[in-house]
């Protein structure tokens, strides 16, 4: 006889909290249906088919928790963020540097970039100075002003591979150098300087120097004429054009005076040693004296050469004596009407010459207008010198 066993179905009711908890974290799939099998010995349904119970209702969907990143992913993310921030900062720095560079170039073109430079690094070879090399009586006053209040107006220089080339400020540079030698103060070994852009045309550099000195009332016509002559030689242009270029901002009458002084210096061919001391009235008188007769230049030049050690006052006395002797010389009673004519066979063709009192006419099949004024002047001077030379 088989002993029957009592089987009890125990249903456990879940608490509300347990029902709300649902399935374990990370398992949001519904549970599979529960299959009940009655294989328990003595159960009334032991030999029946398994009963499939419906699956419990799935828990309501909930907001998934943020995925957790590993250490490597966090490091990569932080590196990317740092790289992006650094790239943004570098781009901002480059933009700022570009803006500063453009501003530096703009200020440099205007000559507003100023620096303290060694006076020994400044050279005066590129431009011929419009200041005389003789003693400047006002330099002592300038040095005293620099010692008292400093230098308010910096010099202007152009930077080169070997230092700097002076554009403006020859007297200021000279004052600083003399103060450094006289006092031994190292402050005067460096001078404030404005940098001008490299590669400016020569005419523009001369204009910068000239325009600054034109406002100074002590700059003489002789100094301005001397600069015009030297600039004409350096540039290969006519002296009159050189005056028009350098002194474009000057009044028309002043440019006329400079051209007349330049003619005096050219006619005397370097015999004048102190052109800066010649007053305007005397210079114009000398110009008219030389313009009246080409032979006067040779006579006045000889008078100057006879006194090689003369100072400025002695040179003025020679000029006044030369033009006064001409003014007081007796005038001829009348001009001679005699004429001398000759024909010369030259490689350029036949030349006809007619000479009379105060006039020489030469005719040759040649375009003399194509000859520069300087060469024409030298040829005429040589012609007259040959006529005055004794056999």
Reported confidence tier of residue 177, pLDDT bands at 50, 70, 90: very high
Reported confidence tier of residue 26, pLDDT bands at 50, 70, 90: very low
Measured CA to CA in angstroms, residue 30 lies from 12, 33, 58, 141 at distances of: 20, 9, 5, 106
Helices 221-235, 280-292: axis angle to 10 degrees equals 50
What is the chain's length? 391
Q: Higher pLDDT residue, 213 or 372?
A: 372
Tell me, rounded to whole angstroms, the distance of Cα 29 from its chain centroid: 80
- Which residue is it, tokens 């009407």? 337
Q: Rounded to an integer, what distance in angstroms lies between the CA atom of residue 178 and that of residue 196?
A: 25
Q: Is 391 helix (H, G, I), strand (E, B) or coil?
A: coil
Across the range 167-192, mean pLDDT stands at 89
Q: What percent of the chain has pLDDT over 70?
A: 67
Other C-beta atoms lying within 10 Å of the C-beta of residue 49: 8
Task: Work out whether strand 155-160 and strand 163-168 pair parallel, antiparallel, or are unpaired.
Answer: antiparallel
pLDDT of 176: 92
Across the range 158-178, mean pLDDT stands at 86
Q: From the CA atom positions of the chain, what is the Rg in Å?
A: 52
* 307-327: pLDDT as tens digits: 888 888 899 999 999 888 655
Reported confidence tier of residue 23, pLDDT bands at 50, 70, 90: very low
Q: Rounded to an integer, what distance in angstroms lies between the CA atom of residue 376 and that of residue 380?
A: 6
Strand partners, 157: 166, 195
The answer to whether 155 touches 168, Cβ cutoff 8 Å, is yes
Asked if residue 180 has pLDDT above 90, the reply is yes
The answer to whether 384 touches 298, Cβ cutoff 8 Å, is yes
Write out the E strands in the chain.
34-36, 51-53, 113-118, 122-123, 155-160, 163-168, 190-196, 339-346, 349-356, 359-363
- Which residue is it, tokens 């649902």? 22
Handedness of CA 275, 278, 280, 283 (dihedral sign): negative
Task: Map out the domains of the chain with their CATH numbers.
Answer: 90-200 (3.90.1530.10), 220-328 (1.10.10), 339-388 (no CATH)
Across the range 294-307, mean pLDDT stands at 88
The answer to whether 119 touches 189, Cβ cutoff 8 Å, is yes
Q: Give this prediction's pTM.
A: 0.43
* 123-146: pLDDT as tens digits: 887 665 545 555 566 678 888 888
pLDDT of 331: 52
């Amino acid at each position: 006889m088989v002993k029957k066993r009592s089987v009890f179905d125990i249903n456990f009711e879940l608490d509300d909290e347990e029902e709300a908890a649902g399935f374990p974290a990370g398992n949001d799939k519904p549970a599979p249906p529960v299959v009940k099998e009655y294989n328990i010995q003595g159960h009334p349904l032991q030999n029946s088919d398994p009963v499939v119970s419906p699956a419990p209702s799935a828990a309501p969907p909930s907001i998934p928790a943020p995925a957790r990143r590993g250490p490597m992913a966090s490091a990569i993310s932080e590196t990317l963020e740092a790289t992006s921030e650094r790239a943004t900062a570098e781009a901002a720095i480059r933009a700022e540097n570009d803006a500063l560079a453009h501003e530096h170039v703009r200020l440099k073109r205007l000559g507003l970039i100023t620096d303290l430079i060694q006076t020994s690094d400044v050279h005066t070879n590129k431009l011929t100075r419009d200041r005389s090399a003789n003693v400047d009586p006002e330099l002592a006053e300038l040095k005293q002003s620099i010692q008292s209040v400093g230098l308010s107006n910096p010099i202007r220089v152009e930077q080169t591979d070997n230092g700097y080339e002076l554009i403006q400020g020859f007297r200021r540079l000279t004052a600083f150098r003399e103060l450094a030698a006289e006092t031994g103060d190292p402050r005067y070994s460096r001078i404030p300087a404005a940098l001008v852009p490299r590669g400016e045309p020569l005419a523009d550099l001369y204009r910068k120097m000239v325009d600054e000195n034109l406002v100074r009332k002590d700059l003489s016509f002789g100094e301005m004429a001397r600069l015009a002559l030297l600039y004409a030689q350096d540039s290969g242009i006519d002296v009159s054009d050189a005056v028009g270029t350098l002194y474009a901002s000057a009044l028309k009458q002043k440019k006329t005076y400079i051209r007349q002084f330049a003619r005096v210096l050219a006619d005397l061919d370097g015999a004048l040693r102190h052109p800066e001391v010649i007053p305007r009235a005397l210079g114009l008188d000398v110009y008219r004296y030389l313009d009246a007769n080409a032979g006067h230049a040779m006579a006045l030049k000889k008078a100057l050469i006879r006194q090689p050690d003369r100072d400025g006052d002695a040179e003025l006395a020679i000029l006044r004596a030369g033009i006064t002797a001409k003014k007081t010389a007796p005038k001829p009673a009348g001009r001679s009407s005699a004429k001398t004519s000759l024909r010369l066979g030259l490689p350029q063709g036949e030349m006809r010459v007619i000479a009379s009192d105060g006039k020489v006419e030469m005719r040759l099949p040649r375009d003399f207008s194509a000859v520069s004024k300087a060469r024409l002047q030298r040829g005429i001077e040589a012609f007259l010198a040959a006529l005055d030379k004794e056999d």
